[in-house]
Amino acid sequence: MKVLFLEIDTERTWAVASMGPAFLAAWLRKHGHAASGIRVPPDEDAATFINRVQEIQPDLIGISLTTRQWLRARDLIAALRDTVEVPVIAGGLHATFSPEAVLESPGFDFVCLGEGEEALLELVTRLENGQPTDDIRNIQVRGGMRPTLRPPLASLDDLPFLARDLLDEQYGVVHIATQRGCPFPCTYCAARQYHDLYESDNYGRRRSVSSVMDELEYIRSTGDLNYVIFLDDTFTIFPTWVKEFCDAHTKRFQTPFSVHARVDTVSRDMLKMLAQAGCRHIVYGVESGSLRVRREVMQRPITNERMVETFKWTRDEGIIVTANYMLGLPGESREDLEQTLELHQQLKPHDFGYFVFYPYPGTRLFQVCRDAGYLPDNYLELPANHRQSILNLPDLSQEDIAEFYDRFTALREETQLGRQSAALTPEQEQQLVDEVRQCAATG
Protein backbone atom coordinates (compact mmCIF):
# COMPACT_ATOMS: atom_id res chain seq x y z
CA MET A 1 0.00 0.00 0.00
CA LYS A 2 1.16 3.56 -0.69
CA VAL A 3 0.98 5.87 2.34
CA LEU A 4 1.59 9.59 2.02
CA PHE A 5 2.44 11.62 5.13
CA LEU A 6 1.71 15.33 5.19
CA GLU A 7 3.73 17.86 7.15
CA ILE A 8 1.60 20.96 7.56
CA ASP A 9 3.66 24.08 8.21
CA THR A 10 1.94 27.03 9.83
CA GLU A 11 3.50 30.50 10.00
CA ARG A 12 7.02 29.27 9.47
CA THR A 13 8.86 26.25 8.17
CA TRP A 14 10.65 24.58 11.07
CA ALA A 15 14.19 23.38 10.46
CA VAL A 16 13.04 19.78 10.78
CA ALA A 17 9.75 18.09 9.95
CA SER A 18 7.83 15.99 12.49
CA MET A 19 9.66 12.93 13.76
CA GLY A 20 6.51 10.78 14.16
CA PRO A 21 5.98 10.19 10.41
CA ALA A 22 9.68 9.46 9.90
CA PHE A 23 9.38 6.67 12.48
CA LEU A 24 6.17 5.37 10.92
CA ALA A 25 7.42 5.50 7.32
CA ALA A 26 10.50 3.48 8.31
CA TRP A 27 8.28 0.90 10.03
CA LEU A 28 5.90 0.60 7.06
CA ARG A 29 8.78 0.24 4.61
CA LYS A 30 10.31 -2.47 6.77
CA HIS A 31 7.02 -4.33 6.43
CA GLY A 32 6.81 -4.02 2.68
CA HIS A 33 4.73 -0.88 2.15
CA ALA A 34 5.59 2.31 0.30
CA ALA A 35 5.73 5.52 2.31
CA SER A 36 6.62 9.07 1.37
CA GLY A 37 6.06 12.57 2.69
CA ILE A 38 5.36 16.05 1.43
CA ARG A 39 5.70 19.30 3.25
CA VAL A 40 3.01 21.93 2.79
CA PRO A 41 4.77 25.31 3.05
CA PRO A 42 3.01 28.15 4.91
CA ASP A 43 2.04 30.03 1.75
CA GLU A 44 0.88 27.08 -0.39
CA ASP A 45 -2.77 27.36 -1.41
CA ALA A 46 -5.24 24.49 -1.23
CA ALA A 47 -5.40 23.98 -5.02
CA THR A 48 -1.63 23.52 -5.34
CA PHE A 49 -1.62 21.20 -2.35
CA ILE A 50 -4.43 19.07 -3.81
CA ASN A 51 -2.62 18.83 -7.16
CA ARG A 52 0.51 17.60 -5.46
CA VAL A 53 -1.40 14.93 -3.59
CA GLN A 54 -3.21 13.84 -6.75
CA GLU A 55 0.08 13.39 -8.59
CA ILE A 56 1.24 10.94 -5.92
CA GLN A 57 -2.06 9.00 -5.85
CA PRO A 58 -1.71 7.60 -2.32
CA ASP A 59 -3.89 4.81 -0.93
CA LEU A 60 -3.88 6.39 2.52
CA ILE A 61 -2.94 9.79 3.89
CA GLY A 62 -1.28 10.11 7.29
CA ILE A 63 -1.02 13.39 9.08
CA SER A 64 0.78 14.18 12.33
CA LEU A 65 -0.80 16.90 14.42
CA THR A 66 0.46 19.27 17.03
CA THR A 67 -2.26 21.63 18.27
CA ARG A 68 -0.65 24.43 16.32
CA GLN A 69 -0.98 22.52 13.06
CA TRP A 70 -4.59 21.54 13.64
CA LEU A 71 -6.57 24.49 12.21
CA ARG A 72 -4.68 24.61 8.91
CA ALA A 73 -4.67 20.82 8.64
CA ARG A 74 -8.43 20.76 9.22
CA ASP A 75 -9.05 23.24 6.39
CA LEU A 76 -6.67 21.55 3.95
CA ILE A 77 -8.08 18.06 4.56
CA ALA A 78 -11.66 19.33 4.13
CA ALA A 79 -10.66 20.88 0.78
CA LEU A 80 -8.76 17.77 -0.29
CA ARG A 81 -11.64 15.43 0.39
CA ASP A 82 -13.97 17.59 -1.70
CA THR A 83 -11.83 16.51 -4.66
CA VAL A 84 -9.96 13.31 -3.79
CA GLU A 85 -11.49 10.16 -2.32
CA VAL A 86 -8.68 8.86 -0.15
CA PRO A 87 -8.84 7.75 3.51
CA VAL A 88 -7.12 9.99 6.03
CA ILE A 89 -5.66 9.11 9.42
CA ALA A 90 -4.38 11.63 11.96
CA GLY A 91 -2.01 10.94 14.84
CA GLY A 92 0.33 12.80 17.16
CA LEU A 93 -0.33 14.61 20.42
CA HIS A 94 -3.21 16.79 19.32
CA ALA A 95 -5.12 13.95 17.68
CA THR A 96 -4.42 11.68 20.65
CA PHE A 97 -5.89 14.12 23.15
CA SER A 98 -8.70 15.61 20.98
CA PRO A 99 -9.80 12.60 18.89
CA GLU A 100 -13.49 13.53 18.82
CA ALA A 101 -12.87 17.08 17.57
CA VAL A 102 -10.61 15.72 14.82
CA LEU A 103 -13.04 13.00 13.75
CA GLU A 104 -15.95 15.45 13.62
CA SER A 105 -14.14 17.43 10.93
CA PRO A 106 -14.79 16.59 7.29
CA GLY A 107 -12.29 14.24 5.71
CA PHE A 108 -10.83 12.55 8.78
CA ASP A 109 -11.62 8.82 8.88
CA PHE A 110 -9.31 7.56 11.62
CA VAL A 111 -7.34 8.85 14.57
CA CYS A 112 -4.41 6.99 16.11
CA LEU A 113 -4.12 7.34 19.87
CA GLY A 114 -0.59 7.08 21.24
CA GLU A 115 2.21 5.13 19.56
CA GLY A 116 1.51 4.51 15.93
CA GLU A 117 3.90 1.90 14.51
CA GLU A 118 1.96 -1.31 15.10
CA ALA A 119 -1.49 0.29 14.88
CA LEU A 120 -0.86 1.94 11.52
CA LEU A 121 0.65 -1.22 10.09
CA GLU A 122 -2.44 -3.15 11.13
CA LEU A 123 -4.73 -0.53 9.58
CA VAL A 124 -2.78 -0.56 6.31
CA THR A 125 -2.84 -4.35 6.16
CA ARG A 126 -6.59 -4.46 6.82
CA LEU A 127 -7.35 -1.77 4.24
CA GLU A 128 -5.22 -3.60 1.70
CA ASN A 129 -7.07 -6.85 2.35
CA GLY A 130 -10.50 -5.22 2.43
CA GLN A 131 -11.02 -6.25 6.08
CA PRO A 132 -13.03 -4.35 8.72
CA THR A 133 -11.15 -1.53 10.43
CA ASP A 134 -13.40 -0.81 13.40
CA ASP A 135 -11.68 -2.96 16.03
CA ILE A 136 -8.01 -2.08 15.75
CA ARG A 137 -6.33 -1.22 19.03
CA ASN A 138 -5.28 2.47 19.23
CA ILE A 139 -7.34 3.38 16.15
CA GLN A 140 -10.54 5.36 16.66
CA VAL A 141 -12.84 5.34 13.65
CA ARG A 142 -15.09 8.24 12.65
CA GLY A 143 -18.35 7.77 14.57
CA GLY A 144 -16.83 4.89 16.55
CA MET A 145 -16.02 4.24 20.19
CA ARG A 146 -12.76 5.02 21.94
CA PRO A 147 -10.41 2.09 21.18
CA THR A 148 -8.44 0.04 23.66
CA LEU A 149 -4.67 0.53 23.58
CA ARG A 150 -1.96 -2.02 22.91
CA PRO A 151 1.03 -1.75 25.27
CA PRO A 152 3.83 0.55 24.13
CA LEU A 153 6.59 -1.12 22.08
CA ALA A 154 8.70 -3.23 24.41
CA SER A 155 12.07 -2.15 23.02
CA LEU A 156 12.89 0.96 21.01
CA ASP A 157 15.90 -0.92 19.60
CA ASP A 158 13.45 -2.89 17.46
CA LEU A 159 12.58 0.26 15.52
CA PRO A 160 14.26 0.75 12.17
CA PHE A 161 16.30 3.94 11.75
CA LEU A 162 14.28 7.03 10.89
CA ALA A 163 13.16 7.55 7.28
CA ARG A 164 15.30 10.67 6.93
CA ASP A 165 13.94 11.59 3.53
CA LEU A 166 10.80 12.74 5.38
CA LEU A 167 12.68 15.01 7.77
CA ASP A 168 13.93 17.60 5.30
CA GLU A 169 17.39 17.81 6.88
CA GLN A 170 20.11 19.96 5.37
CA TYR A 171 23.88 20.51 5.56
CA GLY A 172 24.51 17.24 7.41
CA VAL A 173 22.65 18.53 10.49
CA VAL A 174 20.81 15.42 11.64
CA HIS A 175 18.17 14.81 14.29
CA ILE A 176 18.12 11.79 16.56
CA ALA A 177 15.63 10.54 19.13
CA THR A 178 16.95 8.18 21.78
CA GLN A 179 13.96 7.92 24.10
CA ARG A 180 10.20 8.12 24.49
CA GLY A 181 8.45 9.45 27.56
CA CYS A 182 9.56 11.74 30.33
CA PRO A 183 9.42 10.90 34.06
CA PHE A 184 8.73 14.45 35.29
CA PRO A 185 5.27 15.82 36.19
CA CYS A 186 5.34 19.35 34.64
CA THR A 187 1.73 20.48 34.53
CA TYR A 188 1.88 22.42 31.23
CA CYS A 189 3.61 19.71 29.22
CA ALA A 190 1.85 17.67 26.57
CA ALA A 191 4.73 15.20 26.20
CA ARG A 192 4.19 14.05 29.77
CA GLN A 193 0.59 13.03 29.03
CA TYR A 194 1.49 9.77 27.26
CA HIS A 195 2.27 8.33 30.69
CA ASP A 196 -1.26 9.13 31.80
CA LEU A 197 -2.76 7.87 28.53
CA TYR A 198 -1.15 4.48 29.00
CA GLU A 199 -1.85 4.61 32.75
CA SER A 200 1.64 3.29 33.26
CA ASP A 201 4.90 4.35 34.83
CA ASN A 202 6.66 2.18 32.26
CA TYR A 203 5.98 4.34 29.23
CA GLY A 204 9.51 5.79 29.40
CA ARG A 205 11.97 3.80 27.31
CA ARG A 206 15.41 4.47 25.93
CA ARG A 207 17.37 2.96 23.08
CA SER A 208 20.62 1.25 23.88
CA VAL A 209 23.75 3.31 23.31
CA SER A 210 24.90 0.82 20.68
CA SER A 211 21.67 1.30 18.71
CA VAL A 212 22.22 5.08 18.72
CA MET A 213 25.86 4.62 17.65
CA ASP A 214 24.75 2.29 14.84
CA GLU A 215 22.32 4.92 13.56
CA LEU A 216 25.05 7.59 13.58
CA GLU A 217 27.38 5.18 11.78
CA TYR A 218 24.68 4.48 9.20
CA ILE A 219 24.16 8.21 8.61
CA ARG A 220 27.91 8.78 8.26
CA SER A 221 28.26 5.94 5.77
CA THR A 222 25.36 7.15 3.60
CA GLY A 223 25.71 10.95 3.70
CA ASP A 224 26.99 13.93 5.69
CA LEU A 225 27.22 13.89 9.46
CA ASN A 226 28.24 17.39 10.54
CA TYR A 227 26.12 18.14 13.60
CA VAL A 228 23.68 16.11 15.66
CA ILE A 229 20.62 17.55 17.38
CA PHE A 230 19.24 15.16 19.98
CA LEU A 231 15.53 15.89 20.11
CA ASP A 232 14.85 14.01 23.34
CA ASP A 233 12.85 15.97 25.89
CA THR A 234 15.55 15.47 28.54
CA PHE A 235 18.73 13.90 27.23
CA THR A 236 20.39 13.92 30.65
CA ILE A 237 18.11 11.60 32.61
CA PHE A 238 19.81 8.31 33.55
CA PRO A 239 23.44 9.37 34.28
CA THR A 240 24.80 5.87 33.58
CA TRP A 241 23.32 5.93 30.07
CA VAL A 242 24.79 9.41 29.51
CA LYS A 243 28.23 8.21 30.61
CA GLU A 244 28.09 5.18 28.36
CA PHE A 245 26.95 7.42 25.49
CA CYS A 246 29.77 9.92 26.10
CA ASP A 247 32.42 7.18 26.17
CA ALA A 248 31.16 5.60 22.96
CA HIS A 249 30.67 8.93 21.17
CA THR A 250 34.12 10.18 22.15
CA LYS A 251 35.73 7.03 20.75
CA ARG A 252 33.74 6.76 17.54
CA PHE A 253 32.49 10.18 16.42
CA GLN A 254 33.21 13.41 18.24
CA THR A 255 30.68 15.06 15.94
CA PRO A 256 29.46 18.26 17.64
CA PHE A 257 25.99 17.90 19.10
CA SER A 258 23.31 19.63 21.14
CA VAL A 259 20.82 18.38 23.73
CA HIS A 260 17.86 19.49 25.84
CA ALA A 261 18.33 19.12 29.57
CA ARG A 262 16.77 19.85 32.93
CA VAL A 263 18.98 21.70 35.36
CA ASP A 264 18.34 19.17 38.15
CA THR A 265 19.47 16.23 36.02
CA VAL A 266 23.01 17.44 35.31
CA SER A 267 26.11 17.59 37.49
CA ARG A 268 29.38 19.35 36.94
CA ASP A 269 31.03 16.03 36.08
CA MET A 270 28.33 15.16 33.59
CA LEU A 271 28.74 18.54 31.86
CA LYS A 272 32.50 17.99 31.64
CA MET A 273 31.93 14.58 30.11
CA LEU A 274 29.38 15.91 27.64
CA ALA A 275 31.71 18.73 26.58
CA GLN A 276 34.54 16.26 26.00
CA ALA A 277 32.23 14.05 23.93
CA GLY A 278 31.38 16.95 21.59
CA CYS A 279 28.40 18.68 23.23
CA ARG A 280 28.39 22.28 22.00
CA HIS A 281 24.96 23.49 23.03
CA ILE A 282 22.46 22.78 25.82
CA VAL A 283 18.92 24.10 25.99
CA TYR A 284 17.51 24.28 29.52
CA GLY A 285 13.87 24.84 30.41
CA VAL A 286 13.91 27.55 33.09
CA GLU A 287 10.28 28.51 32.51
CA SER A 288 9.83 31.00 35.36
CA GLY A 289 11.96 33.10 37.69
CA SER A 290 9.38 32.75 40.44
CA LEU A 291 9.95 29.77 42.70
CA ARG A 292 6.30 30.01 43.75
CA VAL A 293 5.10 29.63 40.15
CA ARG A 294 7.54 26.81 39.47
CA ARG A 295 6.47 25.01 42.64
CA GLU A 296 2.76 25.66 42.81
CA VAL A 297 1.76 26.04 39.17
CA MET A 298 4.30 24.07 37.15
CA GLN A 299 5.46 21.36 39.55
CA ARG A 300 9.09 22.13 38.80
CA PRO A 301 10.55 22.87 42.23
CA ILE A 302 14.13 23.62 41.18
CA THR A 303 15.74 26.50 43.11
CA ASN A 304 17.11 29.66 41.51
CA GLU A 305 20.52 28.95 43.08
CA ARG A 306 20.69 25.55 41.38
CA MET A 307 19.87 27.14 38.05
CA VAL A 308 22.46 29.90 38.37
CA GLU A 309 25.10 27.36 39.38
CA THR A 310 24.28 24.97 36.52
CA PHE A 311 24.30 27.74 33.92
CA LYS A 312 27.74 28.81 35.18
CA TRP A 313 29.09 25.23 35.06
CA THR A 314 27.77 24.88 31.51
CA ARG A 315 29.37 28.12 30.33
CA ASP A 316 32.62 27.16 32.12
CA GLU A 317 32.74 23.97 30.04
CA GLY A 318 32.56 26.08 26.87
CA ILE A 319 29.05 24.86 26.05
CA ILE A 320 26.66 27.38 24.53
CA VAL A 321 23.63 27.68 26.77
CA THR A 322 20.07 28.63 25.86
CA ALA A 323 17.32 29.26 28.42
CA ASN A 324 13.63 28.83 27.67
CA TYR A 325 11.03 30.87 29.53
CA MET A 326 7.26 30.78 29.64
CA LEU A 327 4.87 33.62 30.36
CA GLY A 328 1.17 33.95 31.05
CA LEU A 329 0.39 30.86 33.14
CA PRO A 330 -2.69 30.66 35.34
CA GLY A 331 -1.73 31.91 38.81
CA GLU A 332 1.12 34.07 37.50
CA SER A 333 1.33 37.82 38.19
CA ARG A 334 3.30 40.76 36.79
CA GLU A 335 5.59 40.45 39.80
CA ASP A 336 6.36 36.83 38.86
CA LEU A 337 7.25 37.87 35.33
CA GLU A 338 9.54 40.60 36.68
CA GLN A 339 11.27 37.81 38.60
CA THR A 340 11.76 35.85 35.38
CA LEU A 341 13.49 38.86 33.84
CA GLU A 342 15.62 39.24 36.99
CA LEU A 343 16.65 35.59 36.98
CA HIS A 344 17.59 35.91 33.32
CA GLN A 345 20.15 38.59 34.27
CA GLN A 346 21.75 36.15 36.72
CA LEU A 347 21.71 33.14 34.40
CA LYS A 348 23.43 35.02 31.56
CA PRO A 349 22.57 32.49 28.83
CA HIS A 350 24.01 33.01 25.34
CA ASP A 351 20.48 33.05 23.97
CA PHE A 352 16.95 32.43 25.13
CA GLY A 353 13.48 31.50 23.90
CA TYR A 354 10.27 32.88 25.41
CA PHE A 355 6.87 31.35 24.91
CA VAL A 356 3.42 32.55 25.85
CA PHE A 357 1.63 29.71 27.63
CA TYR A 358 -0.92 27.76 25.60
CA PRO A 359 -3.10 25.17 27.42
CA TYR A 360 -2.55 21.96 25.45
CA PRO A 361 -5.38 19.40 25.52
CA GLY A 362 -4.57 16.53 27.86
CA THR A 363 -2.36 18.59 30.18
CA ARG A 364 -3.16 19.32 33.81
CA LEU A 365 -3.11 23.06 33.21
CA PHE A 366 -5.64 22.67 30.39
CA GLN A 367 -7.97 21.18 32.99
CA VAL A 368 -7.20 23.99 35.45
CA CYS A 369 -7.96 26.63 32.81
CA ARG A 370 -11.17 24.93 31.79
CA ASP A 371 -12.42 24.38 35.34
CA ALA A 372 -11.62 27.96 36.37
CA GLY A 373 -13.32 29.47 33.30
CA TYR A 374 -10.09 30.96 31.88
CA LEU A 375 -10.62 29.36 28.46
CA PRO A 376 -12.77 31.37 26.05
CA ASP A 377 -15.77 29.46 24.62
CA ASN A 378 -14.35 29.56 21.11
CA TYR A 379 -10.87 28.35 22.11
CA LEU A 380 -10.92 25.55 19.53
CA GLU A 381 -11.15 28.16 16.79
CA LEU A 382 -8.27 30.28 18.06
CA PRO A 383 -4.72 29.81 16.76
CA ALA A 384 -2.46 27.83 19.08
CA ASN A 385 0.78 29.78 19.10
CA HIS A 386 3.25 30.94 21.69
CA ARG A 387 3.12 34.68 21.14
CA GLN A 388 -0.42 35.59 22.14
CA SER A 389 -2.44 34.37 25.09
CA ILE A 390 -5.95 33.03 24.53
CA LEU A 391 -6.76 32.99 28.26
CA ASN A 392 -8.82 35.34 30.40
CA LEU A 393 -6.75 35.31 33.59
CA PRO A 394 -7.73 37.22 36.73
CA ASP A 395 -4.21 38.35 37.72
CA LEU A 396 -2.63 38.95 34.33
CA SER A 397 -4.43 40.54 31.40
CA GLN A 398 -3.72 39.72 27.76
CA GLU A 399 -2.26 43.24 27.48
CA ASP A 400 0.09 42.52 30.40
CA ILE A 401 1.28 39.35 28.69
CA ALA A 402 1.75 41.18 25.38
CA GLU A 403 3.75 43.89 27.15
CA PHE A 404 6.09 41.33 28.72
CA TYR A 405 6.39 39.48 25.42
CA ASP A 406 7.60 42.73 23.83
CA ARG A 407 10.04 43.27 26.69
CA PHE A 408 11.48 39.79 26.12
CA THR A 409 11.82 40.59 22.41
CA ALA A 410 13.68 43.85 23.18
CA LEU A 411 15.93 41.98 25.60
CA ARG A 412 16.70 39.35 22.99
CA GLU A 413 17.63 42.03 20.46
CA GLU A 414 20.06 43.41 23.03
CA THR A 415 21.44 39.93 23.86
CA GLN A 416 21.98 39.06 20.21
CA LEU A 417 23.72 42.34 19.46
CA GLY A 418 25.83 42.00 22.61
CA ARG A 419 26.95 38.48 21.60
CA GLN A 420 28.77 39.69 18.50
CA SER A 421 32.52 39.67 18.97
CA ALA A 422 33.30 41.93 15.98
CA ALA A 423 31.78 45.36 15.31
CA LEU A 424 28.74 45.14 13.04
CA THR A 425 27.84 47.48 10.21
CA PRO A 426 24.49 49.27 10.68
CA GLU A 427 23.04 46.95 7.99
CA GLN A 428 24.21 43.84 9.85
CA GLU A 429 22.79 45.20 13.09
CA GLN A 430 19.46 45.85 11.44
CA GLN A 431 19.45 42.35 9.95
CA LEU A 432 20.00 40.80 13.36
CA VAL A 433 17.23 42.88 14.92
CA ASP A 434 14.90 41.95 12.04
CA GLU A 435 15.62 38.25 12.60
CA VAL A 436 14.76 38.52 16.30
CA ARG A 437 11.52 40.39 15.49
CA GLN A 438 10.59 37.90 12.79
CA CYS A 439 11.06 35.08 15.28
CA ALA A 440 8.87 36.91 17.82
CA ALA A 441 6.18 37.54 15.20
CA THR A 442 5.91 33.85 14.31
CA GLY A 443 6.78 32.31 17.71
Residue 285 engages ligand SF4 in binding (rule: CB under 6 A):
yes
Backbone angles phi, psi at 438, to 5 degrees: -65, -40
Distances (CA, A) of 321 to 248, 295, 347, 417, 439: 24, 24, 10, 16, 19
Which strands form 110-112's sheet, in the order they lie side by side?
A: 34-40, 2-8, 60-64, 88-91, 110-112, 139-141
Q: What is the DSSP string of 300-347?
A: ----HHHHHHHHHHHHHTT-EEEEEEEE--TT--HHHHHHHHHHHHHH
Q: How far is the CB of 194 from ligand B12 (least distance, A)?
A: 7
- What, of ligand B12, ligand SF4, none, does residue 337 touch, CB below 5 to 8 Å by kind? none
Residue 233 engages ligand SF4 in binding (rule: CB under 6 A):
yes
Q: How far is the CB of 265 from ligand SF4 (least distance, A)?
A: 9
Residue 191 engages ligand SF4 in binding (rule: CB under 6 A):
yes
Closer to ligand SF4 by CB, 184 or 379: give it: 184
- What, of ligand B12, ligand SF4, none, does residue 117 touch, CB below 5 to 8 Å by kind? ligand B12
Q: Select the residue interacting with ligand SF4 from 123, 186, 228, 390 (CB under 6 A).
A: 186
Residue 262 engages ligand SF4 in binding (rule: CB under 6 A):
yes
Q: How far is CA 44 from the centre of its chain?
A: 23
The site for ligand B12 (CB under 6 A) is made up of 14, 16, 18-21, 23-24, 62-64, 66-69, 89-94, 112, 115-117, 120, 177, 189-191, 231, 233, 355, 360, 386, 443
Amino acid at the residue 374: Y
Among 102, 78, 105, 92, smallest CA distance to 138 is for 92
Q: CA-to-CA distance for 339 and 233, rounded, in angstroms?
A: 25
- What, of ligand SF4, ligand B12, none, does residue 291 touch, CB below 5 to 8 Å by kind? none
- What, of ligand SF4, ligand B12, none, does residue 115 touch, CB below 5 to 8 Å by kind? ligand B12
Backbone angles phi, psi at 373, to 5 degrees: 80, 20
Closer to ligand B12 by CB, 8 or 317: give it: 8
Q: Closest residue (Cβ) to ligand B12?
A: 91
Residues that bind ligand SF4 (CB under 6 A): 182, 184, 186, 189, 191-192, 233-234, 262, 285
